[in-house]
C-alpha cells in the first residue's frame, strides 16, 4: 500500500490547499483513502475521507455513462441530430463576429448537433470561462450559463470542426431527461449511483451530507486562501449534468473502479469499448485557455502526451513512464478535483481540493505524486 496520508499531508504543508482528500485503487485491487488539513480556513474541522466536496466537472463522466446506457438500450443514437428532443438545439447558429457597435453576428450552422458531438466537446458549444468570444457574447447580451433555463447561445464553430470545452454534457443531461422521462437526478440515482452504492453522491445534499461539506476557497495573489460563498442551486438547474454533483473521494472511487474494471455493472463490454476509444480524430483535446483567471488558469492536462477524447472524458493515447496506461480515462472538476481510471491495470484514483482557480500547480503536483506512487 502507498503512504497516501503522507502525500496529502505534504501537499497541505506545502500550501497546496487548506485540505485535501483522496482515494485510490492500486493494480492489486486494494482500495485506500486518506485526507489531510482542514475543511476550510473558516472551518477548522479536519478534512476527512467522508468530507463532501463539490466535484464540478467530475460529474461529466457519470452523465456521459448515463447517456450511453440509453444508446445501449437503443433509445438514443450517437449520430442523430438531437434537435427533435431538444428544440433549443434544433437550428443552431454560429458566432461569426461582432459589428462596429459590439453586437454579435451569427449565421446558421450547416451541420447538426449530435450526441457524439455533445459528449466529445466538438459541438461548438463552449463555456465562457475558456472562450473569450463567448465571454464577449455573454457580456453583450447579458446572458448566463448558470440559470435554471436552457441557455440559447451560439456555437463557436461548425459542429465537428474542432475540440472546445463547453456545455455539451450539460445538454446531454437534458437529453437524458427528454428520452427517459425522468429527472436527471432520479435517472442517475437509479442507473449509475444506486447500482454502485454511491450513497454520498448527490446533486442536492441533505442535511447530513451538507454538514460534512468542505468550504470552497479562492487563492489570493499572495498565495493565501479565503473561503468564498459557494453552493450549487438547491433546485434543478441546467448545469446539473456538466457539473452539479457533490461527492466524497471514496464514493467517487466506486465509479472509477467500475471504469477501471471494464464498465460493469453500468455498461456492457461493447459499449464500454466504444466509450473508451478516440472519437475526435486528430484534434488535441483537454487544453484550456482561460478567459476568466479568477475561475481557471490555462491548463494542459498530462503534458507531453497524445490527448484525445472518448465518449466520457479525456483519453491518453500513449503511456507515460511510471504513470497511467494508454487508453486511460481522466478529467477534472473546477475546484481542483482530478481523477484517472486505467482499464489496462485496474488502477484508478481521485484527489479532491476545494479551491479556485482551476489548474492550481500545487494541487496538480499532489495529484501527480499520488498517481506515481500507485504505479511505483
DSSP notation for 339-355: EEE-TTT--EEEEE--E
Q: Which residues 6+ apart lie within 8 Å of 368 measured at CB?
A: 323
Grid coordinates representing 160 are: 465537428
**Is 57 assigned a catalytic role?**
yes
Sheet strands (E) in the chain? 19-25, 31-40, 43-46, 53-54, 93-98, 104-108, 216-219, 225-228, 246-247, 307-309, 314-316, 329-333, 337-341, 348-352, 355-356
Q: Tell me the sheet residues that pair with 339.
A: 331, 350
- Given 21, 33, 60, 213, which residue is catalytic? 60
Q: Tell me the sheet residues that pair with 8.
A: none
For 142, list phi and psi in degrees, rounded to 5: 75, 20
Q: Tell me the sheet residues that pair with 255.
A: none
**Is 137 assigned a catalytic role?**
no
- Given 127, 137, 165, 187, which residue is catalytic? 165
**Is 165 assigned a catalytic role?**
yes
- Given 21, 33, 57, 123, which residue is catalytic? 57
As a whole number of angstroms, the distance between CA 39 and CA 214 comes to: 4
Catalytic center residues:
57, 60, 165
Amino acid at each position: 500500500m502507498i503512504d497516501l496520508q503522507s502525500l496529502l499531508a505534504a501537499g497541505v504543508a506545502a500550501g497546496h490547499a487548506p485540505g485535501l482528500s483522496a482515494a485510490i485503487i492500486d493494480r492489486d485491487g486494494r482500495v485506500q483513502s486518506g485526507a489531510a488539513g482542514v475543511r476550510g480556513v473558516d472551518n477548522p474541522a479536519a478534512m476527512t475521507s467522508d468530507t463532501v466536496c463539490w466535484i464540478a466537472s467530475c460529474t461529466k463522466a457519470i452523465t456521459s455513462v448515463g447517456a450511453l446506457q440509453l444508446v445501449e438500450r437503443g433509445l438514443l443514437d450517437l449520430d442523430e441530430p438531437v434537435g427533435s428532443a431538444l428544440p433549443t438545439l434544433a437550428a443552431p447558429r454560429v458566432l461569426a463576429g461582432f459589428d462596429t457597435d459590439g453586437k454579435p453576428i451569427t449565421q446558421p450552422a450547416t451541420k447538426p448537433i449530435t450526441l457524439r458531438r455533445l459528449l466529445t466537446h466538438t459541438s461548438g458549444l463552449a463555456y465562457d470561462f475558456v472562450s473569450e468570444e463567448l465571454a464577449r457574447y455573454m457580456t453583450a447580451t447579458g446572458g448566463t450559463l448558470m440559470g435554471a433555463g436552457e441557455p440559447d447561445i451560439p456555437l463557436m464553430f461548425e459542429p465537428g470542426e474542432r475540440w472546445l470545452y463547453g456545455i455539451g454534457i450539460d445538454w446531454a443531461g437534458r437529453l437524458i431527461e427528454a428520452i427517459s422521462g425522468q429527472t436527471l437526478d432520479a435517472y442517475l440515482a437509479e442507473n449509475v449511483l444506486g447500482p454502485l452504492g454511491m450513497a454520498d453522491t448527490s446533486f442536492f445534499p441533505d442535511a447530513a451530507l451538507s454538514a460534512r461539506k468542505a468550504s470552497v476557497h479562492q487563492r489570493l495573489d499572495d498565495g493565501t486562501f479565503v473561503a468564498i460563498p459557494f453552493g450549487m442551486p438547491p433546485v434543478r438547474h441546467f448545469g446539473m449534468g456538466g457539473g452539479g454533483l457533490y461527492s466524497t473521494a471514496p464514493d467517487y472511487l466506486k465509479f472509477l473502479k467500475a471504469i477501471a474494471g471494464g464498465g460493469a455493472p453500468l455498461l456492457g463490454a461493447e459499449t464500454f469499448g466504444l466509450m473508451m476509444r478516440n472519437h475526435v480524430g486528430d484534434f488535441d483535446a483537454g487544453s484550456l485557455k482561460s478567459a476568466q483567471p479568477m475561475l481557471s488558469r490555462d491548463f494542459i492536462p498530462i503534458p507531453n502526451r497524445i490527448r484525445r477524447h472518448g465518449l466520457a472524458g479525456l483519453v491518453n493515447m500513449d503511456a507515460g513512464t511510471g504513470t497511467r496506461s494508454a487508453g486511460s480515462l481522466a478529467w477534472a472538476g473546477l475546484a481542483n478535483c482530478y481523477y484517472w481510471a486505467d482499464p489496462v491495470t485496474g488502477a484508478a484514483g481521485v484527489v479532491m481540493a476545494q479551491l479556485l482557480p482551476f489548474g492550481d500547480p500545487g494541487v496538480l503536483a499532489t495529484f501527480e505524486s499520488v498517481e506515481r506512487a500507485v504505479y511505483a
